[in-house]
C-alpha cells in the first residue's frame, strides 16, 4: 500500500506542474493550462487568488470568465512569508495586459493585509488599472443570527439593488 502511494505521488510529480501563466496545476504537455489557453476567456480581467485550489472553486461558480493568477500564498509574518513569497513580478506583468484585477483573496487578517498591499502596488505601477475585490457578506443558506458584525457590515456596504 505504501509503495502504491509512493508510486502515485511520483507519477503525479512527473506528469504535473504549475501553469507558467496562472500557477494552477496542469499537465506538463498542457502548459499554459486549458484556462489560460482558452481564447473565449476575457483577457481584460485577471482574478488574483492565494492558492491554485481557489481557481477550481471559482470556476465551479460558473460566473467568472476571465484569466487567473495564483499568488502561491499571502503575507504572513508569523510563518515567515513576506513580500518575496508572493509572485509579484509575474503578477505585475500579467496585470499590465489587463483592464481590471479582481482580488479574490480570503477575508482573514493576513489576506486583507495582502489585498491592501497588492492594491497599493498595483495602483502605483499601473494607475489606469481597475482594482476590484470580491463582495463579502452573508453566505447563501445562512442566517443573519450566525453572522459576525464585520460580515454584516460588509454585507450592508456591499448591498446591490434587486
Domain definitions of the chain by residue range: 19-135+144-157
pLDDT for the residue 26:
94
Tell me which of 124 and 11 has the higher pLDDT: 124
pLDDT for the residue 158:
79
pLDDT for the residue 57:
92
When the pLDDT of each residue in the chain is averaged and rounded to a whole number, the result is 90
Beta strands in 50-162 (DSSP E): 66-70, 100-103, 130-133
Integer Cα distance of 48 and 133 in angstroms? 10
Check if the beta carbon of residue 77 is closer than 8 Å to that of residue 54: no
From the options 3.30.70.1050, 3.40.1360.10, 3.30.70.360, 3.40.50.2300, give the CATH code of 19-135+144-157: 3.40.1360.10
- Give the angle subtended at the CA of 35 by the CAs of 30 and 40, to the nearest 5°: 120
C-alpha cell at 156: 450592508
Region at 72 (left for phi over 0; alpha for psi -120 to 50; beta for the rest) = left
7-65, pLDDT tens digit by residue?
Answer: 778 877 888 899 999 999 999 999 999 999 999 999 999 999 999 999 999 999 999 99
Helix (H, G, I), strand (E, B) or coil at 148: coil
C-alpha cell at 84: 518575496
pTM of the model: 0.86
* Position 143 pLDDT exceeds 90: no
Amino acid at each position: 500500500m505504501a509503495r502504491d502511494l509512493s508510486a502515485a505521488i511520483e507519477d503525479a510529480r512527473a506528469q504535473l506542474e504549475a501553469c507558467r501563466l496562472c500557477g494552477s496545476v496542469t499537465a506538463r504537455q498542457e502548459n499554459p493550462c486549458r484556462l489560460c489557453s482558452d481564447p473565449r476567456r476575457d483577457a481584460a480581467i485577471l482574478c488574483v487568488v492565494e492558492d491554485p485550489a481557489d481557481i477550481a472553486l471559482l470556476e465551479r461558480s460558473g460566473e467568472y470568465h476571465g484569466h487567473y493568477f495564483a499568488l502561491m500564498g499571502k503575507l504572513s509574518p508569523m510563518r515567515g512569508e513576506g513580500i518575496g513569497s508572493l509572485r509579484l513580478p509575474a503578477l505585475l506583468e500579467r496585470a499590465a495586459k489587463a483592464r481590471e484585477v479582481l482580488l479574490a483573496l480570503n477575508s482573514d487578517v493576513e489576506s486583507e493585509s495582502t489585498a491592501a498591499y497588492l492594491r497599493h502596488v498595483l495602483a502605483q505601477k499601473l494607475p489606469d488599472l481597475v482594482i476590484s475585490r470580491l463582495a463579502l457578506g452573508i453566505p447563501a443558506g445562512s442566517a443573519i443570527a450566525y453572522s459576525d458584525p464585520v460580515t454584516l457590515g460588509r454585507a450592508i456596504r456591499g448591498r446591490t439593488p434587486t
